[in-house]
Amino acid sequence: MRRPIIGGNWKMNKGLPFEAADMLKKLIPLVKNINNVDIVITPPYTALIPVIELTKNTNIMIGAQNMYFEEKGAFTGEISPIFLKELGCSYVILGHSERRNILKETDEIVNKKLKKALNFNLNPIVCIGEHLNERETNKTKEFIEKQFRLSFKDLSDEELRKTVIAYEPIWAIGTGRTATPEQAEEIHIFIRELITKVYNSKTAKAVRIQYGGSIKPSNAKDIFKKENIDGGLVGGASLQAESFSAIIEAANNSSF
């Protein structure tokens, strides 16, 4: 049985310590009785220290939205996995589509970051997903297979099991347009088939695959009901304690 995981990706929002703290003070009591879901929040780097402090001894884990693949040195503006680990992060998002598209991160870069995160015992959440163009030209599976093979290249069986895959169709991110539960489930099944091909069926059954793309309290229940969907990565709706906790609740209920 895979444990659902809900990530709240704050992106470039709530980066000031007081606004991050305001949000957490509302969220912590709302989710304190959630026992069957891993809850992860990824604030901007500038809010990591207060957020880690405030969530100590709670059921909320903290991650970063990105990191660099080197440990230290002349890499102006980059963040080392050592910093994240030492501060108390347990997760890191890698290869988010905004980083791939706006900041031109390639599958090769994502692969280097992934290996480095695993070396430092940071649990990676690696995003993959097609653009609208691939979806409309029936090339979604071809595109996902290429991204999977390159981004996860040379990972051992054990390393892949520690990695969370976030299937995030780009056309559904921040657009209000959600993949239907059936569309999402089809790709989650396809990713498990790929893992079976490249690794084995035991690993395919063990790896957690989240869906991401305009999840809201109103659609979360139907998405999480699908057998191959192990929770979600949430952007916009993770910025309000009420909507984020309702999504977490839906994942908690789907785990029974």
Task: For the segment 199-228, give every residue that binds ligand PEP (CB under 6 A).
Answer: 212-215
Task: For the segment 9-28, give every residue that binds ligand PEP (CB under 6 A).
Answer: 9
Pairing verdict, β 60-64 and 38-42: parallel
Interface with ligand PEP: number of residues (CB under 6 A): 13
CB of 166 to ligand PEP, least distance (A): 7
CB of 155 to ligand PEP, least distance (A): 22
Residue 66 sits in the site that holds ligand PEP (CB under 6 A): no
The rounded distance, in Å, linking the Cα atoms of 240 and 215 is 13
Angle formed at CA 144 by CA 141 and CA 150, multiple of 5 degrees: 140
Task: For the segment 154-183, give every residue that binds ligand PEP (CB under 6 A).
Answer: 168, 173-174
Choice among 130, 168, 185, 249 that is catalytic: 168
Residue 236 sits in the site that holds ligand PEP (CB under 6 A): yes
Best CA proximity match to 12, nearest among 244, 215, 236, 248:
236
Of positions 234, 247, 248, 251, contacts ligand PEP by CB under 6 A = 234
Residue 81 sits in the site that holds ligand PEP (CB under 6 A): no
Q: For ligand PEP, give the closer residue by CB, 125 or 204.
A: 125
Q: Where are the alpha helices (DSSP H) in the chain?
A: 17-31, 48-55, 81-87, 97-101, 107-119, 132-136, 140-151, 157-162, 181-198, 201-206, 217-224, 241-254
The rounded distance, in Å, linking the Cα atoms of 187 and 228 is 9
Total count of residues recorded for the chain: 256
Which residue has the CB atom at the shortest distance from ligand PEP? 235
**What DSSP assignment string belongs to 110-150?**
HHHHHHHHHHTTPEEEEEE---HHHHHTT-HHHHHHHHHHH
The rounded distance, in Å, linking the Cα atoms of 46 and 132 is 33
Active site residue 168: yes
Angle formed at CA 181 by CA 176 and CA 123, multiple of 5 degrees: 85
Q: For ligand PEP, give the closer residue by CB, 9 or 111.
A: 9
Choice among 96, 98, 130, 185 that is catalytic: 96
CB of 48 to ligand PEP, least distance (A): 18
The rounded distance, in Å, linking the Cα atoms of 10 and 3 is 22
Active site residue 188: no
Query: Strand pairing partners for 232?
Result: 6, 211
CB of 58 to ligand PEP, least distance (A): 23
Per-residue binder mask for ligand PEP (CB under 6 A), 25-64, x = binder: ----------------------------------------
Q: For ligand PEP, give the closer residue by CB, 65 or 80.
A: 65
The rounded distance, in Å, linking the Cα atoms of 165 and 221 is 20
Interacting residues toward ligand PEP by CB under 6 A: 9, 168, 173-174, 212-215, 233-237
Indicate which residues carry an active-site annotation.
Answer: 96, 168
